[in-house]
Amino acid sequence: MKERCPNMNHSRSNVAIRFCPSCGEVVSNSVQNRGRCDETKHAHRRKERNFFCCDCGKKLR
C-alpha cells in the first residue's frame, strides 16, 4: 500500500469485499466479483457514501 487509507477494511484480515469503498484499491484478492453490478446497486452504494463500488471498484461519483 502506498498511501494510508482510513477505511478499516484494509486492516481487517477477513474482509468480504474485493474493493475498498473509500479508495478503490483491492483489499482482498480472494473475493471474486459476484456477478455484474447494475445502476440500482451503485445508486444504493452512493447513498451509503461509498466513493467506490466494493464489488467492481467503479468510481461512484
| CA separation for the pair 43, 35 (Å, rounded) | 17
Q: How far is the CB of 27 from Zn ion (least distance, A)?
A: 7
Q: How many helices and strands, by DSSP H and E, does the chain display?
A: 1, 0
Q: How far is the CB of 20 from Zn ion (least distance, A)?
A: 3
Q: How far is the CB of 49 from Zn ion (least distance, A)?
A: 14
| Closest to 4 measured CA to CA, from 25, 29, 18 | 25
With respect to Zn ion, which residue has the nearer C-beta, 28 or 53?
Answer: 53
Judged by the rule CB under 5 A, the positions of this chain that interact with Zn ion are 5, 7, 20, 22-23, 37, 53, 55-56, 58
